Amino acid sequence: MQQDTISTAASPAVFSHSPAAKTAAVEFRQVSKSFGPHEVIRNVDLRVDSGEVVAVCGPSGSGKSTLIRLINQLESVTRGEILINDQPAQNLKGAALRQLRTHIGFVFQQFNLYAHLTAEDNVSLALIKVHGWKKNVAREKARALLGRVGLGDKALHYPDELSGGQQQRVAIARALVTDPGIILFDEPTSALDPEMIGEVLLVMQELAKSGITMIVVTHEMSFAREIADRVIFMDGGEILEQAQPEDFFLRPQHPRAQRFLQKVLFPLHPQTGAGR
């Protein structure tokens, strides 16, 4: 990856998404990942277009988190190639890795906010520490983003003064602070009480309309069904099925996907095939 073609938070440019161009925001070419002898991602080919919203689902241990962690190099590829905006992007270090992560936001299941920082300081931290922004300018941007996720009045609150749903919305604002073209979510609603899931999904729905590329690992079938452009089903480190949501939910093709959906959609009737 060439440095002069990557945006920074200070100068968003070429690496930003462009709705008109159908570049591949993310492309996997025969990617495998092993932990020791254990191959957890196997020969994955995947193309996610710029602006596309993809839901990734599958049973526990199927490799969903590893798949998205490979994209922003929280894990390294064992074999194969990953391209970001059609440029090879792996084994990056130093400034190039920072620039990759500037372009790719990540939202974790457990929020991962700093407990000793206010919401606005959590959001603005990267701009100040990594990109050298002046504190007042960075905080102004943080407050604008907090407003965008419905937390304009919580900028000075600490994480333990916020509900789980509010903390996750702060984490989403933080992931957006560098104007990424791509945002990755790893089960963003799984740690939330049921009544807080909706407020986070609504923010994600707004984001999906903005043209950003989203890859979302989720058990939240309403997200996959109503917001995603495409659903990817994984098992055993492989992508077994990719389909538009309607096709995936009404006419899953792979027997493993059929069994998975049966269990997820009809947990009291895991065997009967009811509802298909």
Ligand X SMILES: Nc1ncnc2c1ncn2[C@@H]1O[C@H](COP(=O)(O)OP(=O)(O)OP(=O)(O)O)[C@@H](O)[C@H]1O
Rule CB under 6 A: say whether 64 interacts with ligand X.
Answer: yes
Considering only the stretches 64-72, 97-105, 131-139, 223-231, report the one whose residues sit in contact with ligand X under the rule CB under 6 A.
Answer: 64-72
Rule CB under 6 A: say whether 68 interacts with ligand X.
Answer: no
Rule CB under 6 A: say whether 213 interacts with ligand X.
Answer: no
How are strands ordered across the β-sheet holding 238-243? 104-107, 182-186, 213-217, 53-57, 230-235, 238-243
| Residues that bind Mg ion in the complex, under the rule CB under 5 A | 65
Place of tokens 């970001």: 84
Site residues for ligand X, 18-37, by CB under 6 A, read 35
Contact of 257 with 250, CB cutoff 8 Å = no
Place of tokens 């919305």: 169
Residue 83 corresponds to which amino acid? L
Considering only the stretches 5-13, 19-27, 62-70, 113-121, report the one whose residues sit in contact with ligand X under the rule CB under 6 A.
Answer: 62-70
* Identity of the residue, 63 or 180, whose beta carbon is nearer to ligand X in the bound complex: 63
| Neighbouring C-beta atoms of residue 45, cutoff 10 Å | 11
* Identity of the residue, 187 or 241, whose beta carbon is nearer to Mg ion in the bound complex: 187
Please choose which of ligand X, Mg ion, none residue 231 contacts, taking the beta carbon within 5 to 8 angstroms, the exact cut-off set by kind: none
Considering only the stretches 8-16, 61-69, 128-136, 198-206, report the one whose residues sit in contact with ligand X under the rule CB under 6 A.
Answer: 61-69
Question: What is residue 11's DSSP assignment?
Answer: B
Rule CB under 6 A: say whether 76 interacts with ligand X.
Answer: no
Contact of 211 with 226, CB cutoff 8 Å = no
Strand partners, 82: 28
| Neighbouring C-beta atoms of residue 160, cutoff 10 Å | 8
Q: Give the residue, chosen from 7, 50, 65, 262, that forms a contact with ligand X under the rule CB under 6 A.
A: 65
* Identity of the residue, 41 or 123, whose beta carbon is nearer to ligand X in the bound complex: 41
Rule CB under 6 A: say whether 40 interacts with ligand X.
Answer: yes
Rule CB under 6 A: say whether 99 interacts with ligand X.
Answer: no
Strand partners, 184: 106, 215
CB of 6 to ligand X, least distance (A): 27
Please choose which of ligand X, Mg ion, none residue 66 contacts, taking the beta carbon within 5 to 8 angstroms, the exact cut-off set by kind: ligand X
* Identity of the residue, 142 or 234, whose beta carbon is nearer to Mg ion in the bound complex: 234
Rule CB under 6 A: say whether 114 interacts with ligand X.
Answer: no
72 closest CA partner among 186, 218, 240, 243: 186
The residues, ordered by sequence, that sit 6+ positions from 190 with a Cβ below 8 Å of its Cβ are 109, 219
Contact of 71 with 217, CB cutoff 8 Å = no
Interaction site with ligand X (CB under 6 A): 35, 40, 58, 60-66
